[in-house]
Amino acid sequence: MSRSASASSLYESLYIEKNGVKVDLSGKTINFSYYESLLSPIITASMVIVDTGSSLQASKEQDSSERTGTIVSSLPIVGNEAVSFKIKSKLGTLNFERTPLYVNGAPVAKQEGSREVVAINLISKAAKDNETSIVNKKYKGNIADSVFKILTEILKVPSNRIFIDPTFKNYNFFGGNKDPFTVLISLASKSIPNDNSDPGYFIYENQNGINFKSISKLISAEPVNKNNPYKKFSVLRKDDEENDYKILSMSQSRNQSLLKVLRSGVYSSRNIFFNPRTFEYKEVIVKLGEKGLKAHLGKDVQVPQEFGNYHRTHFHILDIGCLEDGIDIETNNSPELWQALSTVRYNLLFTQVLNITVPCNPNLKAGDVIECLFEKRTTDNRNLGAYDDQQSGRYLILDLSHNFDPTRSFTSLTLVRDTYGRYSKNSKSRGGLLG
């Protein structure tokens, strides 16, 4: 019988380093949790270690008698120490040996005798660099190019750890002495993919690096588990390989909110634009049923006829020549092109929100699309199919946490989906997974 993906993982390396002193934490760690999210431009992690008073000899600067003590007092851990790790499970490896995380805080949770329990909070390098950086210059040209410049020139992110989807429009802006991630988050909602698909981007960090990705392109991707969909079934299967892709637990935190959809103007919105050069007002009604979205995780959006009238109004003052040295009458990245549909795209994506736990899979990342199959609750003939075609299908990973304990390893996921159903109009057959 092969080892289960839910079994304890192997710490191939786990070190904390400061001023050339490197300490092995693998034998002291009783819990390690790693976090990513599409809504966060930084990676975080946390770990709990059990330490004794004979772990490390203090330097002369830390202790005049150079006595041995705990790592917290002898290293000491005061923040900004580098923690590198490589954790291996059956399905993959979480490797941060070359891109360590950094200690944000290490409060002592418990002390008894010569032993203490320490909770260490970790952040990525980009997180601390962001807090010591500002964007204070003017940027012109394509948004994707500006994003790349901010990441490389200000945050000093290596180019091989930056992943940016090309953008369609130019946009001129000042940084306004804001931190880089505040500026990048602002740019995300104003961005349109270069294939002119639905506007709206996410700026986030995962184990690959920092990503500036189009929502449309994210949800149009092939499921990363196309050949091994995650399944929610009632009984434990004899086949160990099947159990590695079992949904161990599931809860639904959101399943459509009609009032929120109406308040956010998803089905229909009125958009009023004021031109300060000509003093002209322009009104545009955007209806989802007419305009449509080009990409979905499930079936196409069904707009009830009774909600055809607009139920939210957006007001905009057009940016005309504000950032130019001379006279310019062109609109700077007109909100007519992105505001209404960007609002729809973001709000619609959170129509369904699921929280699931699966056996540990370090290959999964925030921003991945996965295929999930849920049982059909029915007393009818199960030979017609075991899975619910309404709830099953493709989901986008919003939040992700890999958790490693001494006896088990698991991955917790928050999944989102914009529409219901397992089969879109582009499905070739009702017998296979969505491609």
Domains of the chain (ranges plus CATH)?
A: 10-124 (2.40.10.10), 129-217 (3.55.50), 223-255+349-417 (2.40.30), 258-334 (no CATH)
Average pLDDT over the chain, rounded to an integer: 85
User: How far apart are alpha carbons 330 and 274 in whole angstroms?
Assistant: 14
> 29-84 pLDDT, tens per residue?
999 999 999 999 999 999 999 998 788 888 888 877 888 888 988 899 999 999 99
Q: Dihedral, CA atoms, 79, 85, 89, 91, nearest 10 degrees?
A: 100
Helix or strand holding residue 288 (H, E)? helix 288-291
Q: Residue 389's pLDDT is what?
A: 82
Burial of 22 (0-12, 13-18, 19+ CB in 10 A): exposed
User: How far apart are alpha carbons 165 and 97 in whole angstroms?
Assistant: 27
Burial of 217 (0-12, 13-18, 19+ CB in 10 A): middle
User: How far apart are alpha carbons 339 and 316 in whole angstroms?
Assistant: 9
Q: How confident is the model at residue 92 (pLDDT cuts 50, 70, 90)?
A: very high
Residues of the chain above pLDDT 70, percent: 85
Q: Residue 154's pLDDT is what?
A: 96
Instruction: Inform me whether the pLDDT recorded for 430 exceeds 50.
Output: no
User: How far apart are alpha carbons 394 and 145 in whole angstroms?
Assistant: 31
User: How far apart are alpha carbons 128 and 121 in whole angstroms?
Assistant: 13
Q: Dihedral, CA atoms, 182, 185, 190, 191, nearest 10 degrees?
A: 130
* Two tokens, residue 108: 């002592």
The pLDDT of 379-407, averaged and rounded, is 82
User: For the chain, how far is it from start to end, CA to CA, in angstroms?
Assistant: 32
User: How far apart are alpha carbons 158 and 153 in whole angstroms?
Assistant: 10
**DSSP structure class, residue 167:** B
* Backbone angles phi and psi of 419, in degrees to 5: -140, 160
Q: How confident is the model at residue 21 (pLDDT cuts 50, 70, 90)?
A: very high
Contact 264, 271 (CB under 8 A): no
Work out the angle at residue 388's Cα, subtended by the Cα atoms of residues 354 and 290, and round it to the nearest 5 degrees. 75
How many CB atoms sit inside 10 A of residue 231's CB? 20
User: How far apart are alpha carbons 190 and 198 in whole angstroms?
Assistant: 11
Q: How confident is the model at residue 291 (pLDDT cuts 50, 70, 90)?
A: low
User: Computed over its alpha carbons, how large is the radius of gyration of the chain?
Assistant: 25
Instruction: Inform me whether the pLDDT recorded for 102 exceeds 60.
Output: yes
Instruction: Inform me whether the pLDDT recorded for 381 exceeds 60.
Output: no
Q: Residue 428's pLDDT is what?
A: 37
Q: Residue 384's pLDDT is what?
A: 52
Q: How confident is the model at residue 395 (pLDDT cuts 50, 70, 90)?
A: very high
Q: Residue 435's pLDDT is what?
A: 26
Burial of 297 (0-12, 13-18, 19+ CB in 10 A): buried
* Two tokens, residue 201: 């981007």
**DSSP structure class, residue 256:** -
The pLDDT of 208-220, averaged and rounded, is 95
Q: How confident is the model at residue 236 (pLDDT cuts 50, 70, 90)?
A: low
CA-nearest of 388, 359, 358 to 374 is 388
Q: Residue 166's pLDDT is what?
A: 95
Contact 316, 273 (CB under 8 A): yes
Helix or strand holding residue 402 (H, E)? strand 393-404
pTM above 0.75, yes or no: yes
Q: Where are the beta strands (DSSP E) in 245-377?
A: 249-255, 268-275, 280-287, 313-317, 352-359, 369-374
User: How far apart are alpha carbons 47 and 374 in whole angstroms?
Assistant: 33
* Two tokens, residue 232: 């929610």
Higher pLDDT pick, 139 / 332: 139
* Two tokens, residue 256: 């459509």
Strand, coil or helix: 242: helix
* Two tokens, residue 386: 């075991």
Higher pLDDT pick, 286 / 378: 286
Q: Residue 427's pLDDT is what?
A: 40
* Two tokens, residue 21: 């002193």
Instruction: Inform me whether the pLDDT recorded for 284 exceeds 50.
Output: yes
Contact 73, 62 (CB under 8 A): yes
User: How far apart are alpha carbons 42 and 209 in whole angstroms?
Assistant: 9
> 129-160 pLDDT, tens per residue?
999 999 999 999 899 999 999 999 999 999 99
Instruction: Inform me whether the pLDDT recorded for 271 exceeds 50.
Output: yes
- Stretch among 181-190, 254-263, 264-273, 387-396 having the lowest mean pLDDT: 254-263
Instruction: Inform me whether the pLDDT recorded for 432 exceeds 50.
Output: no
Characterize 320-331 residue by residue with b for buried, 16 or more Cβ atoms within 10 angstroms of its Cβ, and e for exposed.
bbeeeeeeeeeb
* Two tokens, residue 102: 């950094």
Q: How confident is the model at residue 308 (pLDDT cuts 50, 70, 90)?
A: low
What's the per-residue H, E or C state across 29-75? EEEEEEEEECCCCCCEEEEEEEEECCCEECCCCCCCCCCEECHHHHC
